[in-house]
Homo-oligomer: A and B are copies of this chain.
Amino acid sequence: MQESIENKKLSHLNAAGEAQMVDVSGKTPTLREAIASGQVRMKVATFEAIVGGNAPKGDVLGTAKIAGIMAAKQTAQLIPLCHPLPLHKIEVQITPDAELPGYQIQATVTTKAETGVEMEALTAVSVAALTLYDMAKALDKSIQIEAIRLLSKTGGKSGNYRAD
């Protein structure tokens, strides 16, 4: 299995090992979806303060969701070798997790394009998580952003992917 990985090429590096954008002009636009997730772990007291303070207006989570959605639209400006793409849907969900304690974040992005939207989904999760940190950092500087990863990907020639 490692052999097959070694035989693949790092698609962003050309023959000379230099960074390059992958040429997608030979590809056909297809419907594509990517789902990414991550979590924000905090002290119990911080979690309870957010849950409590957040109840009447929902603004902490609402702000983080909006930040995630807007960041997904900035992905190609943030990640040097990403292609600028039209996006058809961006959804960010943030769920309290008393066990963690903290919040679970999941982002779904869809498009019809020549390349996938994994980076858009991962960027949405990352910036939603950073916004949660920002809004709670006066309470707790030890908040940690964890486990940002791709959950699934559909569409495109390379086939579907689903995390274990």
Residues in A lying within 8 Å of B, measured CB to CB: 1-2, 5-6, 8-13, 16-25, 31, 38, 43-46, 48-50, 53-60, 62-63, 65-67, 69-71, 73-74, 76-91, 110-114, 118-119, 122-123, 126-127, 129-131, 133-150, 153, 161, 163-164
Chain B residue nearest to A56 (CB atoms) is: B17
Looking at chain A's contact residues, the main secondary structure is mixed
How many chain copies?
A: 6
A122 is contacted by which of B38, B67, B133 (Cβ under 8 Å)? Answer: B133
Contact of A62 among B63, B70, B135, B144 (CB under 8 A): B63
Q: CB distance A90 to B49 under 8 Å? A: no
Name the B residues within 8 Å of A153 (CB-CB): 141
Give the distance in Å from the alpha carbon of A43 to the alpha carbon of B122 in the complex.
19
